[in-house]
Amino acid sequence: MKVILNHDGQVLYQENYTDETMDDLLRDVVWRNDSIMMFGKTHPQPRMTAWHGEKGLAYTYSKIKMISPGWTPALLRLKEKLEKDLNAKFNSVLVNYYRDGNDHMSWHTDNEKELGKNPVIASLSFGEPRKFTLKHRTDKNIDPLVMELPSQSLLVMKGELQEHWVHRISKSTRIKNPRLNLTFRYIY
């Protein structure tokens, strides 16, 4: 794997990590239908989301509590490959499906307390490449890191990255095709 960033945390990257396809990975995914609160109003999330992993495992973000219905066969295959290749443990995956370029994810960090300190997060992308940006939280002299994540690529975030950096998937209204992203995590 290539080291893309090694300052206040690490980002590793590998193109063509897997042969799994978006169609196979979407099979049996149980979609959620949660709204988020923004400025006192509820809005549908600007993407589709699902939560899989060990059956019954709970994860809360943006005040939304999700309970895992178990692994799908394809997600379990990927989890096992990642564990072997990265020498890490994963018990869950957050599934984000961006229907087109209007769907997005705003600046945030994966720092929920269930993830523990310095989590290893393995992010796999399928379908339309989208722009992923990392921005340092406090040091304005560091340029943001912008990457296009192609289909079947793997990006790993680890070390202190979630403490010091925020990330997002920006809107890109000319994009008409969908993208699937899987972030494998370990929940304590």
Ligand X SMILES: O=C(O)CCC(=O)C(=O)O
Q: Which of residues 80-139 bind ligand X (CB under 6 A)?
A: 94, 96, 105, 110, 123, 132
Should residue 167 be labelled a site residue for ligand X when binding is judged by CB under 6 A? Answer: yes
Can you give 4-22 as a three-state secondary structure string? EEECCCEEEEECCCCCCCH
Rg (CA), the chain: 16
- Closer residue to ligand X in complex, CB, 72/125: 125
Contact assessment for residue 135 and residue 107, using Cβ atoms and an 8 Å cutoff: yes
Number of residues that bind ligand X (CB under 6 A): 10
**178 contact partners, CB below 8 Å, separation of at least 6:** 22, 97, 98, 99, 100, 127, 128
Q: CB of residue 83 vs ligand X: minimum separation in angstroms? A: 18
Cα dihedral value 161, 19, 66, 100, nearest 10: 90
Should residue 181 be labelled a site residue for ligand X when binding is judged by CB under 6 A? Answer: yes
Neighbours of 31 (CB within 10 A): 11
Would you give the binding string for ligand X spanning residues 40-79, x where CB under 6 A is met?
A: ----------------------------------------
Q: CB of residue 135 vs ligand X: minimum separation in angstroms? A: 12
- Closer residue to ligand X in complex, CB, 71/130: 130
Give the interface with ligand X as residue ranges (CB under 6 A).
94, 96, 105, 110, 123, 132, 167, 169, 181, 183
